[in-house]
A and B are shown apart, each in its own frame.
Chain A
Amino acid sequence: MTRPAASPPEVVVRLSGFVKRYKQHLAVDSLDLTVQRGEIYGLIGPDGAGKSSVMKAIAGVLRYDGGSAEVFGTLVDSERAAERVKPRIGFLPQGLGLNLYPELSVEENIDFFARLRLVPKPELHERKSRLLAITRLDRFRGRLMKQLSGGMKQKLGLICTLIHEPELAILDEPTTGVDPVSRRDFWAILAEWQADKGMTALVSTAYMDEAARFHRLSFLSHGRVLASGTPADVQSLVPGLVVTFESSPQLEAVARLKRRYAQVESLGPLLHVFTPEREPEAAVAGIRQALEHLPVEQVHADEPELEDVVVALLLKEREEQLGESAGSDHSARLAGRQQLDGLAVEAKGLIRDFGSFRAVDRVSFDMKQGEIFGLLGANGAGKTTVIKMLNGIVPPTAGEGRVAGADMRTAGGAIKERIGYMSQAFSLYLDLTVIENIRLFAGIYGLARRQAQQRMKWIVEMAGLTGYEDDRTGRLPMGVRQRLALGCALVHSPRVLFLDEPTSGVDPIGRRRFWELLSRLAREEGVAILITTHYLSEAEHCDRLALMYAGRIVAEGTPADLKRQVERDIGQLLEVVVDKPGVALTHVVTAGFAGAALFGTKIHVLSRNPGRDEGRLRDVLARSGIAVGAVRTRTLSLEDVFVSRVMALEQAARKEGQP
């Protein structure tokens, strides 16, 4: 069904002067928002910005305190009005698989929601098989929901939300905590349903790199809109360039740059600076000036990513946040600097079986002191089990390893005293205050009172917890909690730090600050850090990465190495700007282009020969009457690397499975 292009856009959701209060706390402050039919509209913003309140009110499950919310032209101001709109809406609440029933199978869950929505049998059958096929869940029809991985649960949640073909889908942080491959599947369903059925979607996300997939978006902070429009509109709000280069000594360079630039990040060996200049020459010159005599090598100047822009917007809003940490750079230094040489972790052929299932299969890698090592992989790839083995919680079935100089199999106790660990679930005591938490862990690690006092001071300064000391942990914002958890993991000056998805659910500024802490720990204190994350833009911070798939390490190297390998295998990334992306995508796919995917109004295609393929693309699209704008090559992101690797492996596994 294609609608005539000229018809005026129909407004599906219109909020004006929308206000929501929770007791004294103003969650949403006179917000205006319109969503048009057929749009994928994004709500982005940090934790507690008011995204969920807005979405719940639109879905008719939350009362609001002021302004109006119209959905399909109906004013949703009473339960009765909400009931009138609800049949045309699908709502996926925040949290992995929270709308599903763990004791039912995949198919039973879908059937239940279909019956609830009175979907006729033949339609149900057709939609079910199609949705299961796109999400690659068709092999797991009979599996109980509680046995699915996080990513699969979330895909199933989306299927159940879409099974009655709602005109408007409201999805609250559907991709948080979901691995990149499942995330792509997720976007694939949305794009297909939008192109095919003309569905409108309102989606919130904490992943800034996903924001480019929206047609339009609003950036929320503290219940107000900081920016809205198409991704390009938002990007143009904060003009500037991102300059990437190498310099040494890195810490000194960061300190100097911070005096001049608000956004300075270290990504492994690289530095990443957001400059307000628009000309590459001027931008680089400014950086050279700021660095004084330090060397500047391998310079690139690129268009900023949306995340850079968003952080810049947030910084404008609360300038003090990142500034203070720059000041405390040198005051908080560990008294006894640790040895920088030697291997921190040495894993050789680690194997772990659970019954007949091999969770980890011959994993070997090394980590040096002062290195940040990233372990990537889909949910259930075995990352957490590897960490648990190295921590001595789970004994390996076979293989050996040394952690912080102690043998994993015989010296579990010694290892535990030398490592720090922070788990994916936020694992501090919410009913204790900040200081009480730190004191508890100081006691657990057997620190004497004087020593404990010293460390406590160091942690409070290092993690920027000044002023929060006597607050109950449960009342702190996520970002602060996360830094406290890191502080507690560091109370005994460990030589190796294990971080299992430490930044899930933390907003972009909180994440950047967290990473700043990590790189200082690695560079200054020589702590070896092993980290797992689903935010692949974060993985750029790592010195080295290992990618896990089905319990094995399938690729290892620096982020740049990995990108180069994949570029050699599958080609470069071409970004095509078109006027009718949905239709265009179908043509691009039928013409046989690899890895075609929709990003808002743009199409991404992989190409081994960009020069030739650009011509072919333009030809194909021109013949179908689609206007083509710019075609650009972009550097692959780590997410591209991850997805293409895993997809290739999955395909190989499927071929093996059915010869």
Chain B
Amino acid sequence: MTARQQAVTWGRRLAAMTWKEVLQLSRDVPLLLFLLYSFSLSVVVSGAGITMQLTNAELLVHDADHSHSSRELIHRFQPPYFKFAGEISDPREGLRQLDQGKVMVLLEIPPRFHEALMSGERTAVQLLVDTTNAPQGLSAAGYSVRIAGLFGTETGLASAGLSGAPVTLPLVSSAHRVWFNPTQDERWFQSIAHVLRMTTIFAVLLPAAALVREKERGTVEQLLVSPLSPFQIMFSKVLAMSGVILIALSLALYGVLHPVFHVPMKGSTALFFLLTTLHVFTTAGFGLVAATIAKNQAQVGMMTLFVVGPMLLLSGITSPYESMPQWVQTIMTFSPLRYYIDITYGVMLKGAGLDLLWKPVVAMLLLGGALFGFGMWRFRRQFQ
């Protein structure tokens, strides 16, 4: 047999196996429905529903002054961040409502507030914030401090008679311009993050389940006595499942992200899909390794949960990667998702190309190669 014939036969084998995987998946209606849901409706829900921004924080006011200034200050706590929940006369009532979780912020304005301001004395307001939900509470506190601070500065300037006149005080004015997501639409981040999560979960689960099913049913024996190499057996699964995931991803991209959330594609679409393929391939390596250890689908499901769970939580879509302790960051260098996040946000929102992204790409290639090699070694070993 010539080298060319050999290559043709090799390709035919891989093609036959890959097509088989596609056929089998196409017969698995519940799984297909789940896949469809995960890349369509569920993206809409998480894009629209999940938000970390402060919205509608219930604000309770105890105004002991009832002056022009106090009303002016209260008026500055505006929707969508704050929602006025009413005024009370007894400060203890405010504490009670905070305890019950009915309101989030309690603003107390002392008596003689207006008088003090007008006479140039120092005065203070008290702000009590429930930070049980830490990110929300901290945002609420931050916003309130800024609102109160700005109010103080402006009132101070006005009382010094400087309002309206050209200001020549040495003030630092912070005019910021938002890049990459100019409207600061958080739904971009959340919907993309959800697509990344789903891509990762299916990339681990689909090939792993396909391989374990062959073990469970005993069909793998038939494949082992055929001239297929372990690489062909395993790679055909990754190939087929990558195809399916890419199709599902296009559905999410062109069916949800673009039309519903207006997420842009600043960089090259081809590059994005190419690098997604690389991510799926690398992540599938974890699944295949798990599949060579597990004996049945229940076990492989449980094992992938162990791998995928931390990956999703710690790779940087749920919480910022940079703020995690060093040792967690070190472990997460083995998570392909960590690189894929950089790549996706880079290509989609920043329009980055390979010249900027080559580092995560190389890291993923190395990781994927190592995992695949280890999986193949395990696969060969387990049947001897």
Binding site for B on A (CB under 8 A): 391-395, 413, 416-417, 419, 421-423, 425-432, 436, 439-448, 472, 488, 498
Instruction: Decide if B13 touches A440 in the complex (CB within 8 Å).
Output: no
Q: Which of B19, B28, B226 has the most C-beta atoms of chain A within 10 angstroms of its own C-beta?
A: B226
Instruction: Decide if B219 touches A444 in the complex (CB within 8 Å).
Output: no
B15 within 8 A of A: yes
Which residues on the A side are within 8 Å of B219 (C-beta)? Answer: 427-429
Q: Which of chain B's residues 199-221 have a Cβ closer than 8 Å to chain A?
A: 217-219, 221
Which residues on the A side are within 8 Å of B13 (C-beta)? Answer: 443-444, 446
Which residues on the A side are within 8 Å of B227 (C-beta)? Answer: 413, 416-417, 444-446
Chain B 15-57 near chain A by CB (<8 Å), digits 1 or 0:
1110110011001100000000000000000000000000000
Which residues on the A side are within 8 Å of B10 (C-beta)? Answer: 446
The range of chain B's interface size is 20 to 34
- A416 and B15 CA atoms in complex are apart in Å by 19
Query: Can you identify 15 A-B contacts, CB atoms within 8 angstroms?
Result: A393-B221, A394-B384, A413-B227, A421-B225, A427-B219, A427-B222, A428-B219, A432-B20, A436-B20, A436-B23, A443-B16, A444-B227, A444-B228, A446-B9, A446-B13
B383 within 8 A of A: yes
- A274 and B16 CA atoms in complex are apart in Å by 46
Contact partner of A444 among B16, B23, B27, B384, CB < 8 A? B16
Q: A432-B23, A444-B223, A446-B9 are in contact. Are A427 and B16 (CB under 8 A)?
A: no
Instruction: Decide if B12 touches A391 in the complex (CB within 8 Å).
Output: no
B224 within 8 A of A: yes
Shortest Cβ distance from B228 into A: residue: A444
Q: A421-B222, A443-B17 are in contact. Are A427 and B217 (CB under 8 A)?
A: yes
Instruction: Decide if A425 touches B221 in the complex (CB within 8 Å).
Output: yes
Which residues on the A side are within 8 Å of B16 (C-beta)? Answer: 439-440, 442-444
Q: A426-B218, A427-B218, A443-B15 are in contact. Are A432 and B24 (CB under 8 A)?
A: yes
- A429 and B23 CA atoms in complex are apart in Å by 10
Q: Interface SS of chain B: helix, strand, loop or mixed?
A: helix
Extra A-B contacts (12), CB below 8 Å, given A423-B221, A431-B23:
A393-B221, A393-B384, A394-B383, A416-B226, A427-B221, A432-B24, A439-B16, A440-B20, A443-B13, A443-B17, A446-B12, A446-B227
- A593 and B15 CA atoms in complex are apart in Å by 65
Give the distance to chain B from A558, nearest Cβ to Cβ, in Å.
28
Shortest Cβ distance from A430 into B: residue: B217
Which residues on the B side are within 8 Å of A432 (C-beta)? Answer: 20, 23-24, 27
Q: A393-B383, A394-B384, A431-B28 are in contact. Are A441 and B218 (CB under 8 A)?
A: no
Binding site for A on B (CB under 8 A): 8-10, 12-13, 15-17, 19-20, 23-24, 27-28, 217-219, 221-228, 383-384
Instruction: Decide if B228 touches A392 in the complex (CB within 8 Å).
Output: no
Give the distance to chain A from B15, nearest Cβ to Cβ, in Å.
7
- A394 and B19 CA atoms in complex are apart in Å by 28
Instruction: Decide if B224 touches A393 in the complex (CB within 8 Å).
Output: yes
Contact partner of B226 among A425, A426, A444, A448, CB < 8 A? A444
Which residues on the A side are within 8 Å of B384 (C-beta)? Answer: 393-395
Which residues on the A side are within 8 Å of B224 (C-beta)? Answer: 393
Which residues on the B side are within 8 Å of A498 (C-beta)? Answer: 225
Shortest Cβ distance from B233 into A: residue: A444
- A443 and B14 CA atoms in complex are apart in Å by 8
Q: Which 9 A-B pairs have the closest CB atoms?
A: A443-B16, A425-B218, A446-B9, A421-B225, A427-B222, A431-B27, A416-B227, A391-B225, A423-B221
Give the distance to chain A from B221, nearest Cβ to Cβ, in Å.
5
Instruction: Decide if A419 touches B225 in the complex (CB within 8 Å).
Output: yes
Which residues on the B side are within 8 Å of A448 (C-beta)? Answer: 12
- A417 and B228 CA atoms in complex are apart in Å by 10
Shortest Cβ distance from B9 into A: residue: A446
Shortest Cβ distance from A392 into B: residue: B225
Q: Which of A439, A445, A447, A498 has the most C-beta atoms of chain B within 10 angstroms of its own C-beta?
A: A445
Give the distance to chain A from B228, nearest Cβ to Cβ, in Å.
6
Instruction: Decide if B225 touches A431 in the complex (CB within 8 Å).
Output: no
Q: A417-B227, A446-B13 are in contact. Are A428 and B19 (CB under 8 A)?
A: no
Which residues on the B side are within 8 Å of A393 (C-beta)? Answer: 221, 224-225, 383-384
Shortest Cβ distance from A500 into B: residue: B221
- A395 and B217 CA atoms in complex are apart in Å by 24
